[in-house]
């Protein structure tokens, strides 16, 4: 198991305060050293700011591009790998959504999110249409289509999750959280188990053991620097190798192939084990199924066993929604909108956080092979979708509520 990220949540200033970023960099550097001394591999350190309107108010959003570039430069100077500039929300002016592709195009390590649904505001059709336009625009930033790696549409996602692009700060005093890359815990637990009871108990024991180690170091460094430790995300996030694949874990549990019948039950079983494990939990802490970050999921999707509809179905019993899903390059904003709408509906109806990080691949059609030199991605194929533009009442810009499912 690795630590994917130590994420530091910080209030923002306008103009940008270098001293605040320097302080964050010092804390993250010390935290990295402390975790590495305890035997952990720390892959990245990250910074997360509040919603965009908290930084720029109602009038200064035009300065966001330069601000993002300055933030990126200061993060580099002070040893911070990535930064989330925050999120646009449906209650904010539409310009906060519209400027996101420009910010992503002007930077390399800055992430952003766009809220499309929340418990208080319901599902915003306007925000969904805006997010569809953002994804469509970000796909054109580079020939590989990976601009959308740094944008996600957020549904029912509270502040404080340490995974980017969903990370943002609620405001107030600084805090930090830990995101893990821990699919290997499930692979090991299920490979060695003979019964389901043993599989569950092995996984829970592994999670709790690692959580105790993380918690000890985090509380120590947080106490020394008077920074609140928010908690850990154990999403069983994968890495594209078979020993770190959640697809491989599903198959080790006994499903003939990830995506075949039985996958839904396996996903529910794993999520149940995650929720039974006792640790200081934040963020998603549900099963991640990121297609291109998992070599088995990427292979099974290329075989047609894992589809966009399947991933939505699995999201009903796990998390995190639709993550790193490769789509045809000619998909339109109007076709992206209903996919986002389904994610939003699941999130509100089931009262769970879900995101959508969709990757239209420029110049690619359904079934085309896609290859990457990016170390965190597996090669795969472009997935088909069943989306058609919304019309009628759903084609408008209103917001609507969905009550949480109670029976």
Residue 23 included in any domain: yes
pLDDT beyond 80 at 59:
no
Structure confidence at residue 62 as a pLDDT band (50, 70, 90)? confident
Mean pLDDT calculated for residue range 326-332? 98
Q: Is 368 part of any domain? A: yes
Place of tokens 């002070």: 78
Residue 286 scores a pLDDT above 90: no
Distance CA 201, CA 346 (A): 29
Q: pLDDT value at position 404?
A: 85
How many domains does the chain contain in total?
A: 1
Residue 397 in any domain: the answer is no
Residues 86-120 pLDDT 10s: 999 999 999 999 999 999 999 999 999 999 999 99
Residue 37, pLDDT > 80, answer: yes
Instruction: Provide the domain limits for residue 132.
Output: 1-390
- Over residues 162-212, the pLDDT tens digits come to 999 999 999 899 999 999 999 999 999 999 899 999 999 999 999 999 999
240: in domain: yes
The C-alpha atoms of residue 361 and residue 145 are separated, in whole angstroms, by 5
- What is the average pLDDT value for the chain, to the nearest integer? 96
Whether 403 is covered by a domain: the verdict is no
pTM, full prediction: 0.97
Q: Which residues contact 377 (CB under 8 A, 6 or more apart)?
A: 240, 292, 293, 324
pLDDT at 212: 98
Residue-level pLDDT at 251? 98
Instruction: Count Cβ neighbours within 10 Å for each residue of 367-404 and write b for 16 or more, e otherwise.
Output: eeebebeeebbbebbbbebebeebeeeeeeeebeebee
Q: Is residue 402 situated within a structural domain?
A: no
Is residue 405 in a domain? no
What CATH number is given to the structural domain containing 377? 3.20.70.20
Cα angle, residue 399 at apex, residues 125 and 162 outer, rounded to 5°: 70
pLDDT given for residue 222 in this prediction: 96
Q: pLDDT grade, residue 320 (50/70/90)?
A: confident
Q: Per-residue pLDDT for 405 more than 90?
A: no
Model pLDDT for residues 111-159, shown as the tens digit of each residue: 999 999 999 999 999 999 999 999 999 999 999 999 999 999 999 999 9
pLDDT at 319 over 90: no
Q: Residue 383 falls within a domain, yes or no?
A: yes
The yes-or-no verdict on residue 403 having pLDDT over 90 is no
Helix axes 333-349, 308-315, angle to 10 degrees: 20
């Amino acid at each position: 198991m690795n630590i994917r990220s130590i994420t530091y949540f910080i209030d923002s200033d306008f103009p940008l305060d270098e001293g605040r970023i320097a302080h964050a960099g010092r804390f993250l550097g010390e935290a990295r050293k402390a975790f590495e001394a305890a035997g952990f591999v720390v892959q990245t350190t990250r910074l997360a700011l509040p919603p965009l309107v908290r930084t720029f108010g109602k009038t200064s959003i035009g300065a966001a591009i330069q601000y993002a570039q300055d933030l990126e430069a200061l993060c580099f100077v002070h040893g911070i790998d990535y930064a989330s500039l925050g999120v646009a929300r449906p209650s904010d002016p539409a310009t906060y959504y519209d400027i996101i592709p420009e910010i992503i195009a002007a930077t390399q390590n800055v992430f952003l999110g766009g809220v499309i649904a929340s418990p208080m505001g319901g599902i915003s059709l306007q925000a969904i249409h805006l997010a569809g336009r953002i994804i469509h625009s970000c796909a054109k930033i580079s020939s590989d289509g990976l601009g959308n790696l740094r944008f996600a549409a957020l549904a029912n996602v509270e502040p404080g999750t340490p995974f980017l692009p969903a990370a943002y700060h609620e405001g107030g005093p600084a805090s930090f959280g830990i995101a893990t890359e821990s699919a290997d815990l499930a692979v090991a637990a299920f490979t060695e188990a003979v019964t389901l009871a043993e599989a569950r108990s092995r996984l829970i024991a592994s999670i709790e053991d690692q959580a105790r180690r993380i918690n000890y170091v985090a509380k120590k460094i947080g106490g020394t620097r008077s920074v609140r430790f928010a908690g850990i995300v154990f999403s069983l996030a994968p890495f594209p190798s078979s020993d770190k694949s959640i697809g491989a874990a599903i198959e080790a549990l006994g499903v003939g192939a990830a995506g075949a019948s039985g996958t839904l039950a396996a996903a529910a079983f794993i999520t149940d084990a995650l929720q039974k494990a006792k640790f200081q939990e934040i963020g998603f802490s549900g099963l991640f199924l990121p297609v291109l970050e998992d070599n088995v999921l990427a292979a099974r999707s290329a075989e047609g066993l894992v589809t966009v509809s399947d991933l939505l179905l699995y999201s009903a019993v796990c998390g995190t929604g639709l993550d790193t899903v490769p789509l045809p390059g000619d998909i339109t904003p109007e076709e992206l909108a209903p996919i986002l709408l389904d994610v939003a509906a699941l999130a509100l109806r089931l009262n769970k956080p879900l995101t959508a990080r969709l990757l239209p691949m420029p110049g690619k059609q359904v079934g085309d092979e896609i290859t990457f030199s990016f170390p965190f991605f597996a090669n795969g194929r472009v997935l088909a979708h069943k989306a058609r533009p919304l019309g009628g009442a759903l084609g408008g810009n209103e917001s609507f509520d969905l009550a949480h499912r109670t029976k």
